[in-house]
């Protein structure tokens, strides 16, 4: 799997669900996305229509699932959770896998398709008439007696999530009237998420402990939650009062081995490999993938976007290059390593 999304039904997934904002007003950061979505939702509510199909694009853990779960809740006239079904591109292997979801869709409900760029072409084509005309074609019977029946379904909304909107075919992309890109979060927003989620977990956080966690979360709420969870355990064991103080947070983070920029072992290994095995680059993605035994997808979706954002590497036409900043960050001497 290209990201660390917890598998459904596991304790990790339950932890994540329990911390998920329920309303648009509880979503921290992503101000422009939230504003635009607010308007689209308001208009849909006033017209009594489902939301236009929505494509959410961006690195893992930035709140795509969260935004999707908020939509049906915002549209539910009784203020309930609304109706949302979850599936993913790889799980939909053939058109018939999609039929049950489509026929179960209620008016205004959401069908969330994670990793929508991985939909098989046949499934994708089957989705078009459903998205466009709220219609599915079902084959009845077999062999020469088989006939196709066209069935109307309730007007609903597809919310597609992808780490790679560039890999979507043009016809699929065109069927999404709304397209939003989620970006890495500012430290102040992440600190706010940490404070809110600590409160939900019943953990008291003092001083700048929340900021410390935020700075080491790689701009990613999911990482912030995972650090918070670790700090909660650490507090349980090391603090009589059960309070996460700045000192305790620093000790907990030190032990977790995330560095000052929030880089984890895999990120540092990536940079170290370019620098030590390939003299700082340029090196091709697949070569790097072999050297690290990490799939190219993971490197492209999970590792590189954040390193790029930190200015630690560059993508050039000849391959990946470590920047001066990477040498400095790892405490390596560029001249001694033969870099130029
Ligand atoms: P993936 O694409 O890998 O499924 P995602 O982008 O869908 O990831 P979510 O599962 O929505 O990420 O977010 C992970 C967790 O981060 C949520 O449980 C929630 O606690 C927190 N979170 C994400 N975005 C926000 C936000 N904008 N405000 C508050 N909390 C957030």
Q: 158-212: per-residue pLDDT in tens?
A: 999 999 888 999 999 999 999 999 999 999 999 999 999 999 999 999 999 999 9
Place of tokens 């009784």: 78
β-sheet bridge partners, residue 140? 147
Choose one of 66, 67, 87 to mutate for the ligand 1 pocket test, by most ligand atoms within 8 angstroms of C-beta: 66
**Of all helices (H) and strands (E), which one includes residue 200?**
helix 187-201
Distance 186 CA to ligand 1 centre (A): 14
Q: Cβ neighbours of residue 43 under 8 Å, at least 6 residues apart?
A: none
pLDDT for the residue numbered 336: 64
Q: Using CA atoms, how far apart are residues 150 and 134, in angstroms rounded to an integer?
A: 10
Q: How far is CA 336 from the centre of its chain?
A: 39
Among protein residues, the one whose CA lies closest to atom 8 of ligand 1: 61
> Is the CB of residue 64 below 6 angstroms from any atom belonging to ligand 1?
yes
Atom of ligand 1 nearest to the CA of 163: 2
Which residues belong to the active site? 64-65, 114, 163, 222
> Is the CB of residue 223 below 6 angstroms from any atom belonging to ligand 1?
no
Choose one of 27, 28, 58, 221 to mutate for the ligand 1 pocket test, by most ligand atoms within 8 angstroms of C-beta: 221
pTM of the model: 0.89
Atom of ligand 1 nearest to the CA of 161: 2
Distance 216 CA to ligand 1 centre (A): 16
β-sheet bridge partners, residue 138? 149
pLDDT for the residue numbered 157: 97
Choose one of 29, 61, 64 to mutate for the ligand 1 pocket test, by most ligand atoms within 8 angstroms of C-beta: 61
Q: Using CA atoms, how far apart are residues 250 and 142, in angstroms rounded to an integer?
A: 66
Distance 5 CA to ligand 1 centre (A): 10
ipTM score of the complex? 0.95
Distance 65 CA to ligand 1 centre (A): 6
Nearest to 304 by CA among 325, 320, 280, 323: 320
Q: Cβ neighbours of residue 134 under 8 Å, at least 6 residues apart?
A: 152, 153, 154, 155, 156
Atom of ligand 1 nearest to the CA of 5: 3
Q: pLDDT (tens digit, 0 to 9) for every residue of the chain, 340 residues total?
A: 345 677 777 878 888 888 999 999 999 999 999 999 999 999 999 998 999 999 999 999 999 999 999 999 999 878 788 899 999 999 999 999 999 999 999 999 999 999 999 999 999 999 999 999 999 988 888 888 888 889 999 999 999 999 988 899 999 999 999 999 999 999 999 999 999 999 999 999 999 999 999 999 999 999 999 999 999 999 999 998 989 999 999 999 999 988 889 999 999 999 999 999 999 999 999 999 999 999 999 999 999 999 999 999 999 999 999 999 999 999 998 776 554 4
> Is the CB of residue 160 below 6 angstroms from any atom belonging to ligand 1?
no
């Amino acid at each position: 799997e290209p990201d660390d999304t917890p598998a459904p039904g596991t304790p990790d997934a339950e932890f994540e669900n329990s911390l998920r904002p329920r309303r648009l007003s509880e979503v921290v950061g992503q101000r422009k996305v939230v504003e635009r979505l607010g308007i689209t939702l308001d208009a849909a509510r006033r017209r009594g229509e489902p939301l236009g199909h929505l494509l959410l694009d961006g690195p893992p853990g930035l709140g795509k699932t969260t935004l999707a779960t908020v939509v049906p809740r915002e549209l539910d006239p009784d203020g309930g959770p609304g109706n949302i079904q979850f599936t993913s591109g790889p799980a939909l292997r053939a058109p018939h896998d999609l039929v049950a979801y489509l026929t179960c869709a209620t008016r205004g409900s959401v069908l969330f398709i994670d990793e929508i760029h991985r939909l098989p072409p046949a499934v994708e084509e089957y989705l078009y008439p459903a998205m466009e005309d709220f219609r599915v074609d079902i084959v009845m019977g077999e062999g020469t007696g088989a006939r196709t029946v066209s069935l109307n379904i309730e007007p609903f909304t597809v919310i597609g999530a992808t780490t790679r909107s560039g890999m979507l075919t043009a016809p699929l992309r065109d069927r999404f009237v709304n397209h939003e890109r989620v970006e890495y979060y500012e430290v102040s927003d992440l600190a706010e998420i940490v404070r809110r989620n600590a409160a939900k977990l019943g953990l008291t956080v003092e001083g700048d402990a929340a900021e410390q966690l935020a700075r080491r979360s790689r701009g990613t709420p999911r990482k912030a939650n995972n650090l918070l969870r670790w700090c909660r355990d650490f507090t349980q064991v090391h603090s009589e009062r059960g309070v996460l103080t700045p000192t305790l947070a620093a000790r907990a983070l030190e032990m977790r081995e995330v560095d000052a920029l929030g880089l984890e072992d895999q990120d540092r290994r990536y940079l170290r490999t370019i620098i030590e095995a390939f003299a700082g680059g340029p090196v091709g993605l697949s070569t790097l993938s072999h050297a690290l035994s990490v799939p190219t997808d993971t490197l492209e979706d999970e590792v590189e976007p954040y390193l790029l954002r930190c200015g630690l590497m560059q993508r050039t036409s000849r391959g990946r290059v470590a920047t001066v900043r990477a040498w400095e960050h790892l405490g390596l001497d560029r001249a001694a390593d033969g870099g130029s």
